[in-house]
Amino acid sequence: MIAVWSAGAPFLPATRLHLDEAGASYSVLAEEPADSDFDRAAGSEVLIVGGSPVTREVLARLPRLELLVRAGVGVEKIDIDEATRRGVMVTNVTDYGIQEVADHSLLLMLAAARRLTYFVRQNESDWADASYLPVGRLSGRTCGLVGLGAIGSAVAARVTALGMSVIAHDPWAPAERFAAVTARSVSLTELLELSDVISLHVPSTPENRHLLNAEAFGRMRRSPIIVNTARGALVDTPALEHALEAGLVSGAGLDVLDEEPDVSRCVSLLRRDDVVVTPHVAWYSGAARDQLGRTAAEIALEFERSGVVPRVLNPEAVRVGRR
Q: Write out the chain's pLDDT in tens, 323 residues.
A: 999 997 678 899 999 999 999 999 999 998 888 999 899 999 999 999 998 999 999 999 999 999 999 999 989 899 999 999 999 999 999 999 999 999 999 999 999 999 999 999 988 888 877 788 889 999 999 999 999 999 999 999 999 999 999 999 999 999 999 999 999 999 999 999 999 999 999 998 889 999 999 999 999 999 999 999 999 999 999 999 999 999 999 999 999 999 888 888 889 999 999 999 999 999 999 999 999 999 999 999 999 999 999 999 999 998 665 55
Same domain, 230 and 114: yes
The reply to whether 280 belongs to the active site is: yes
The pair phi, psi for residue 50, each rounded to 5°, is -90, -110
The one-letter code for the residue type at 115 is R
CATH of residue 110's domain is: 3.40.50.720
Whole-number Cα distances in Å, 52 to 4, 75, 202, 263, 313 = 11, 10, 21, 18, 18
Q: Is 210 helix (H, G, I), strand (E, B) or coil?
A: coil
The number of folded domains in the chain is 2
Same domain, 229 and 122: yes
Q: Active site residue: 115, 169, 222, 231, which one?
A: 231
Same domain, 44 and 182: no
Same domain, 106 and 91: no
Q: Active site residue: 193, 241, 259, 260, which one?
A: 260
Same domain, 271 and 137: yes
Same domain, 261 and 175: yes
Mention every residue, 6+ apart, whose C-beta is less than 8 A from residue 73. 92, 93, 94, 203
Domain range holding 302? Answer: 2-96+286-320
Task: Give the total residue count for the chain.
Answer: 323
Same domain, 81 and 105: no
The reply to whether 260 belongs to the active site is: yes
Q: Active site residue: 280, 289, 294, 304, which one?
A: 280
Q: What's the pTM?
A: 0.91
Q: Is 208 helix (H, G, I), strand (E, B) or coil?
A: helix
Same domain, 108 and 80: no
What is the 8-class DSSP label of residue 54? B
Same domain, 241 and 168: yes
Q: Check the CA dihedral 234-202-254-134 and report its sign.
A: positive
Mention every residue, 6+ apart, whose C-beta is less than 8 A from residue 190. 167, 169
Same domain, 126 and 72: no
Write the DSSP string, 67-103: EEEESSS--TTB-HHHHHHTT-EEEE--SSSHHHHHH
Same domain, 302 and 270: no
Same domain, 219 and 91: no
